[in-house]
Every structure is written in structure tokens, then in C-alpha cells.
Structure 1
Amino acid sequence: MEYTGKIKRRNCHRVLIGHVPVGGDSPVVVQSMTNTDTADVDSTVRQV
């Protein structure tokens, strides 16, 4: 199943966590605990 509608984001303040902006109109941020390039799926899966 694929959702094709637009999700309405709630208004919120942008804050910095370290040097990473979170909230407001900032894009979603994902943190990884691996030390591999997460674009390299095989290496990342081996670490997990």
C-alpha cells in the first residue's frame, strides 16, 4: 500500500541539537550508530 497524499506538518520551532537543526522547516534527520556509509547497505547490514 502506498500513501499518495500529503502529510500536513504541524508548526513548531526550529532548534539546534549540536550543529543539527531539528523542527521547523528542517528536513527529517536520521542518526545511525554504525561507522559505515549508510548508502553502503551491505557493509551497514554486516555491522548490525
Structure 2
Amino acid sequence: MKKSSKGGINPTDPSQYMNIWVVNSMGGILGYAQFPGGNPATDGIVVAH
């Protein structure tokens, strides 16, 4: 979901924007986010729809 090569959308610059990915289902998980200071290539929030 966080990479176009895997069918998602690549993140934008997390120092300028908040990346939010909305997905259909995650097997009972409603969403998750990564802690600050993590990999900027995956920095953002994932929410189940």
C-alpha cells in the first residue's frame, strides 16, 4: 500500500505533508502509524475503510 510497485501510492515528503493511506481491510486492525524518527519512506498513517 505504501509503494506504487506494490499497487499503492508512494509517500510524499513527510517533512512537508502527512501521508495517509486508506485500505479496504487489514484483518481486524483498524489502523496503524509508525513512531517518529522511523524510515521516511514509510512515514505516515494507515487506516482501514
TM-score by length of 2: 0.20
More strand by share: 2
Whose Rg is larger?
A: 1
